[in-house]
Amino acid sequence: MEKDSTKISMAVIRRLPKYHRYLKDLLDKNITRISSKELSRVIGFTASQIRQDLNNFGGFGQQGYGYNVDALYYEIGKILGLDRTYRTIIVGAGNLGQAIANYTNFEKAGFVPKAMFDMNPKLIGLKIRDIEIKDIDTVEEYIKENNIDIGIICTPGPQAQSVADRLVKGKIKGIWNFAPVDLKVPAHVVVENVHLSESLFTLSFLLKHCQNESSGTL
Amino acid sequence: MEKDSTKISMAVIRRLPKYHRYLKDLLDKNITRISSKELSRVIGFTASQIRQDLNNFGGFGQQGYGYNVDALYYEIGKILGLDRTYRTIIVGAGNLGQAIANYTNFEKAGFVPKAMFDMNPKLIGLKIRDIEIKDIDTVEEYIKENNIDIGIICTPGPQAQSVADRLVKGKIKGIWNFAPVDLKVPAHVVVENVHLSESLFTLSFLLKHCQNESSGTL
DNA sequence: TAGATTGTTAATCGATTAACAATC
DNA sequence: TAGATTGTTAATCGATTAACAATC
């Protein structure tokens, strides 16, 4: 039933978390069924796109009825890989690393931080919640011994590539990268970037070019 | 020379910060000129796409020569609106808000945090660097009196929309939203989202579906 | 059954890539 | 000048939207 996932486009993949979030909202409102047309209204995609997207993964709907919210929420969660837990480490225990360590929502979703790593001796040994900050020199060994799935890189840009190299040596499976660089890793390691300055600069562009389009009086 | 900016696609706009970053790298390496072909090799876009992208904003290159790195870096900075400063406020002084307040790179790029806001009485009055945390109830007035351009929302999801409403009332120009919701704002207010869980869930999807594609031995 | 809504194919739209004349 | 490389048009590719038969 499921098509070859290698053919799913990134455009579709990046919409899935949004479906997941809105379906949760509907569940919380005790809405049990929804048509692509209604969902279109709340989520902002076209009904056609919603049906196309969902059909990449199987026929979750029922003609004449629509979609069962509970079942669809569960299925999309499964497609996203949210039906399991992931063991993560955070590399870089500065402000951002600590913020992520403290953000319990990720843990609730199944992404459990097991340790943090830093090169600063003043930080090593400290704990954020119950997560210990360890010496970056031990990260490779730690990943292997503790079966870590995901490394979260929160270092400054210049350190990020060498950190990534260490994670790869430890056989990390995926990297969530907050450093403002594009990492070079082997093809079997998945990298997802959060490039904050790129997002901020995009906002800046839009402020400069797209403002006041509809407010002629100012 | 510049085409109507309303016709620039978001795909192009989101590539501009990456050009900017790589051009800075080249500058730092004292590289003064570059062809679209060479740039293609380092940045990973096709040479054709690079020329197409840049030509949306004018002819920055020279036939037979390529592009002047310094001039192009400056021009793209200007296009992105990085040739000025922005007055920002951070709403939500929790871990993420504090991390952003402490991240001086944004300030170096011209995005200057003037104040933070929170509803927690224990935080109000404290300072992060030299940035004071103020009562959220005063935010509308503060924006107006201090000519704030950008509001950075770092609150939990449930508070984000009401915060956005206040920012809009204060006549904020743009919102950088880190809360996991889609804000409803008037068309003249620009919103740029950083949806961290969506990014993390995308990583999760890729881990589940695209792993080991090229590593047959494991 | 009749009405509603999906699953899916076909049409359209937009973005990327290729090609090449212009020109430095 | 000859070689290199842009700017720009045309071709291709992929993603979105529209349409409708299938079916609950």
Reported as a single tens digit per residue, the pLDDT across B195-206 is: 999 999 999 999
CATH of B5-79, one of 2.60.40.10, 3.30.460.10, 3.40.50.720, 1.10.10.10: 1.10.10.10
* Domain covering A86-199, topology: Rossmann fold (3.40.50)
Given a cut of 70, the residues of chain B with pLDDT beneath it are 1-6, 212-218
Q: What is the dihedral of CA B209, B212, B217, B218, to 10 degrees?
A: -80
Instruction: Decide the pairing of beta strands B190-193 and B131-135.
Output: unpaired
Q: What chain B residue is nearest to A10 in terms of C-alpha separation?
A: B202
Distance of CA A174 to the CA centre of its chain: 11
For residue A63, the distance in angstroms to the closest alpha carbon of chain B comes to 28
Residue B203 CB neighbour total at 10 angstroms? 27
For residue B127, the distance in angstroms to the closest alpha carbon of chain A comes to 15
* A97 marked as binding residue: yes
Please tell me the predicted confidence (pLDDT) of residue B174. Answer: 98
Please tell me the predicted confidence (pLDDT) of residue A6. Answer: 55
In chain A, list all ranges with CATH 1.10.10.10: 5-79
Please tell me the predicted confidence (pLDDT) of residue B196. Answer: 98
Please tell me the predicted confidence (pLDDT) of residue B156. Answer: 97
Q: What is the dihedral of CA A156, B26, B192, A38, to 10 degrees?
A: -110
Q: Quick one: which residue's CA is nearest to C22's C1'?
A: B63
Nucleotides of C under 7 A from a protein CB: 2-9, 14-19, 22-24
Classify B190 as helix, strand or coil: strand
Q: What is the Cα–Cα distance from A162 to A173, expressed in whole angstroms?
A: 16
Please tell me the predicted confidence (pLDDT) of residue A1. Answer: 39
Question: Which residues on chain B are in Cβ contact (under 8 Å) with A98?
Answer: 95, 99
In chain A, list all ranges with CATH 3.40.50.720: 86-199
Given a cut of 70, the residues of chain A with pLDDT beneath it are 1-6, 212-218
Q: What chain A residue is nearest to B196 in terms of C-alpha separation?
A: A194
